[in-house]
């Protein structure tokens, strides 16, 4: 087992990464001395891991489970309301704890429900996808989608602990593993060229589920994200760089109803578009654009969007959280391992979208 700390003063917490941690869940949750526990999961994860999690937590406190539909399209108010209703039915109090067992959607909406119930109760992240283990479970961003944009409704609410059992990734479909690799590549691209090269070299091993390669990818990404979050918890500056590829990716997701593309697939394509836009405005060299594109392709992710409207994509981007004073602020690459925020000429943006397959 490896452990990392997200250093946030009295909100600091540990991330535990390793094999067999789901069956050891009790030792990570017991110190919280919860008066009750609500296990929030979805109908895909529940048959695989919910009973194991419940057995591990048995005896700590009264425990209830709620199972939600699986998919980004269910990351909305109705799902949050179901979690709140379950907390009310369980007579949960301010010392109760929500345990999020699932991927990024479950972690985000369960964490958001915890953030707003009784003005905030504690929650624990038990991520079961590669994407959640390397990114969304760390950092305290919780929330849901709005029809006009991704994650427009939410709160910063840090977990008490993150428990990432790498064994559970063995049941992930190949498409989900590829989706998680998008966030792994993102971390290297924005902050650590050496890590990017390591991930690119080990992509085939990660996709095949080789334990050491997977563990290194999870730990490496968590180290980068923990470092950035500790310096800028509320995204006042540096943390915004973690959105590399996401302005494009969120637009793709919104335009396709959060159902055709996985989040990581949209982000992977967004990384390529961000690299091309960086090159178009004179930041990133053509050879590095090719390296980014090849890495995304090797991860099994799309690098083009065919058939979507460029004008509609730009309109969607104006609904993004990163818009300031009606200016879209893109996270772009100066070089591999170094990201910056920039506004860009609309002509450069439109040309990049059309190069990427938008009409």
What lies within 8 Å, CB to CB, of 174 at 6+ separation is 207, 300
Nearest to 185 by CA among 275, 320, 117: 275
Angle 246-255/263-280 helices, nearest 10 degrees?
A: 130
> Which of 75, 150, 186, 246 does the annotation list as catalytic?
246
> Which of 250, 276, 280, 291 does the annotation list as catalytic?
250
> Which of 75, 122, 141, 276 does the annotation list as catalytic?
141
157 is an active site residue: no
What lies within 8 Å, CB to CB, of 165 at 6+ separation is 18, 19, 20, 21, 22, 126, 128
* CB atoms inside a 10 Å sphere around CB 31: 9
Q: Using alpha carbons only, what angle is made at residue 266 by residues 260 and 268, rounded to the nearest 5 degrees?
A: 140
Beta-ladder partners of 127: 102
186 is an active site residue: no
217 φ, ψ (degrees, to nearest 5): -65, -45
146 is an active site residue: no
> Which of 263, 276, 280, 291 does the annotation list as catalytic?
263
What lies within 8 Å, CB to CB, of 326 at 6+ separation is 318
> Which of 239, 276, 280, 291 does the annotation list as catalytic?
239
Report the SS3 class of residue 61.
coil
> Which of 42, 151, 202, 243 does the annotation list as catalytic?
243
342 is an active site residue: no
263 is an active site residue: yes
Angstrom distance (rounded) from CA 43 to CA 89: 20
Angstrom distance (rounded) from CA 337 to CA 194: 8
33 is an active site residue: no
* CB atoms inside a 10 Å sphere around CB 265: 23
In the chain, at which residue ranges do the beta strands (DSSP E only) sit?
2-6, 13-18, 37-42, 63-68, 97-102, 122-127, 141-146, 149-156, 161-165, 323-324, 327-328, 330-335, 338-342
> Which of 67, 176, 183, 265 does the annotation list as catalytic?
183
187 is an active site residue: no
Categorise residue 137: left if φ over 0, alpha if ψ from -120 to 50, beta otherwise. Answer: alpha
Separation of CA 297 from chain center:
20
> Which of 75, 150, 207, 225 does the annotation list as catalytic?
225
Residues marked active site are found at: 119, 141, 183, 225, 235, 239, 243, 246, 250, 263
């Amino acid at each position: 087992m490896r452990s990392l700390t997200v250093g946030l003063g009295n909100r600091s917490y540990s991330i535990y990464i390793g094999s067999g941690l789901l069956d050891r869940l009790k030792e990570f949750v017991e110190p919280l001395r919860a008066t009750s526990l609500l296990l929030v999961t979805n109908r895909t994860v529940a048959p695989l891991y919910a009973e194991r999690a419940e057995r591990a937590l048995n005896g700590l406190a009264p425990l209830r489970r709620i199972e939600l539909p699986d998919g980004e399209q269910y990351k909305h108010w109705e799902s949050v309301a179901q979690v709140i209703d379950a907390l009310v039915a369980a007579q949960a109090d301010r010392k109760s704890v929500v345990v999020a067992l699932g991927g990024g959607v479950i972690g985000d909406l369960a964490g958001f429900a915890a953030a707003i119930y009784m003005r905030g109760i504690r929650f624990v992240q038990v991520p079961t996808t590669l994407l959640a283990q390397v990114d969304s479970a760390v950092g305290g961003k919780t929330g849901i989608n709005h029809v006009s944009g991704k994650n427009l409704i939410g709160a910063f609410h840090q977990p008490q602990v993150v428990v990432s059992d790498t064994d559970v990734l063995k049941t992930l479909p190949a498409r989900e593993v590829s989706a998680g690799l998008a966030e792994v590549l993102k971390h290297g691209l924005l902050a650590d060229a050496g890590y990017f090269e390591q991930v690119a070299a080990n992509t085939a091993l990660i996709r095949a589920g080789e334990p050491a390669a997977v563990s290194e990818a999870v730990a490496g990404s968590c180290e980068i994200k923990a470092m950035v979050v500790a310096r800028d918890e509320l995204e006042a500056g540096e943390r915004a760089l973690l959105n590399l590829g996401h302005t494009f990716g969120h637009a793709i997701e919104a335009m396709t109803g959060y159902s055709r593309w996985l989040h990581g697939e949209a982000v992977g394509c967004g990384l390529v578009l961000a690299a091309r836009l960086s090159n178009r405005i004179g930041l990133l060299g053509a050879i590095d654009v090719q390296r980014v594109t090849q890495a995304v392709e090797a991860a099994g992710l799309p690098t083009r969007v065919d058939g979507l409207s460029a004008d509609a994509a730009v309109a969607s981007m104006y609904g993004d959280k990163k818009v300031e004073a009606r200016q879209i602020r893109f996270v772009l690459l100066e070089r591999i391992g170094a990201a910056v925020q920039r506004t860009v000429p609309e002509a450069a943006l439109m040309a990049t979208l059309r190069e990427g397959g938008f009409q």
